[in-house]
Amino acid sequence: MKLWSGRFEKETDKLVDELNASISYDCRMYKEDIRGSVAHAGMLGAKGIIEAAEAEKIIACLGEILEDIEAGKLTFTTDTEDIHMSIETELTKRIGDTGKRLHTARSRNDQVALDIRMYLKNEIRGIRNLILDLMGAMLGLSEKHLETVMPAYTHLQRAQPTTFAHYMMAYANMLERDVTRLEDCQGRMDEMPLGSGALTGTTYPIDRGRVAKELGFRRVTENSLDAVSDRDFEIELLAALSTMMMHLSRLSEEMILWCSWEFQFVTLDDAYSTGSSIMPQKKNPDIPELVRGKTGRVYGSLVTLLTVMKGLPLAYNKDMQEDKEPVFDAVDTVKKCLPVFTNLLLTITVNRENMRKAAGEGFINATDCADYLVKKGMPFRDAYTVVGKLVSTCLDRGKTLETLELDAYKAVAPEFDEDIYAAIGLETCVALRNVPGGPAPDQVKEQITSVTRFIGGRSIRSLEIGR
């Protein structure tokens, strides 16, 4: 018999039970559900809403149920619909009528709102640490490749010289923002909804502050209608995870390009590559490809939840049961992608010579050539035109700016002299970009210091910074 069956004269159809049940996926919140129930029972006993001895009996039995779940002695069925009713049913089975008193001054509406907040607060901490690990891998690569020159691109065309360290720190900065987005989300999630009842609170003299403190919440929710119908914190989390996955997907795209024969900038370790069933020569970048593909999966979770919530009136509606699967799936997907990507970066081989060779082609020092003329007094737009003509000359003669004869330079602008070759050397071009945020080694060291400080201030556990 269902706990809510008093109003009904017929049993629900089996197909309805299957559609209605969420126990197959919300069972993962059993710890949070039991923790919340323990805090609630303790408060009921302290306030005299139930006998103190009954509260103690409930709390003790809930501890036994937790032990049995974790030992695999207790399993769940669809008969009890969800994790809340499963645990309450088991509690009542074990201690009788006393167990029925647990749900006093509580609804499943505020109970599930509590459980999902507690669960996601903990998951955010774990995901944040995984992102910090990935940032640590990027720091390690950056420290080793401060002077590894490579081309930077716009429109996937070689544009200007940079370093591999500068490139990695760009992604580290993206991930830094992802961490702060998760922290902001967690801060807004840190409100305790229990005590909101089904939608308008309760007539019992409960102590919401006591429960919030015991469960580690900073504050209680301010409005009971909002508390049971709010899923903004899930949407915000999915948006933050989607943004983070977008960053991983962009880096995945770069890795896929860089490890191709056309680029050969990096070589993936065998442990983080796969082969072909028919082409024995292949070494495929399946890991970054999967991360790129799973980004769409996380996006789908965000769109799912936005669509579920967009037309719902206050307060709770059964549609909201559809929040958990996409949220859980997104969390699980991110937790799978982050550590494997970290290990992929820690084991790649960076092909410095190939990067330097590519940087030497494509006229990526053309802007520096123009800047040389500007420093000689020529207006930049005139210098831009002069260098454009030089590039055309080089293309006609199969030359680069570094190999073009000085006479050819002087033919288009007498300001050129022997020092042009030093000015357009790729290492010089990088070193002279010695402005905050630039690729000059000293500037990248500052970026590394900043991100290292960011990680150190947030680490819950020690991190291996690079290799």
Residues involved in catalysis: 155, 276
The answer to whether 56 and 62 are in contact (CB under 8 A) is no
Side chain identity at 112, as an amino acid letter?
V
HSE (side-chain half, CA atoms, 13 Å) at 140: 20
Find out whether the peptide bond into 315 is cis, omega within 30 degrees of 0.
yes
Q: How far is CA 195 from CA 84, 86, 104, in A?
A: 16, 21, 10
Q: How far is CA 207 from CA 107, 204, 213, 220, 282, in A?
A: 16, 9, 10, 11, 64
Side chain identity at 151, as an amino acid letter?
P
CB contact set of 425 (below 8 Å; sequence gap of 6+): 365, 402
The answer to whether 110 and 199 are in contact (CB under 8 A) is no
What single-letter DSSP state applies at residue 13? P
Short-list 149, 40, 158, CA closest to 88 = 40
CB contact set of 308 (below 8 Å; sequence gap of 6+): 319, 320, 322, 323
The answer to whether 422 and 409 are in contact (CB under 8 A) is no
Assigned token pair, 50: 């139930």
Strand, coil or helix: what is 323? helix
Side chain identity at 297, as an amino acid letter?
R
Rounded (5°) CA angle 160-161-166: 115
- Number of helices and strands in the chain (H, E): 20, 6
Instruction: Report the alpha-carbon distance of residue 369 to residue 366 in Å, rounded.
Output: 5
The answer to whether 91 and 61 are in contact (CB under 8 A) is yes
Strand, coil or helix: what is 139? helix
- How would you classify the pairing of strands 191-192 and 219-220? parallel
Q: What is the CA radius of gyration of the chain?
A: 30
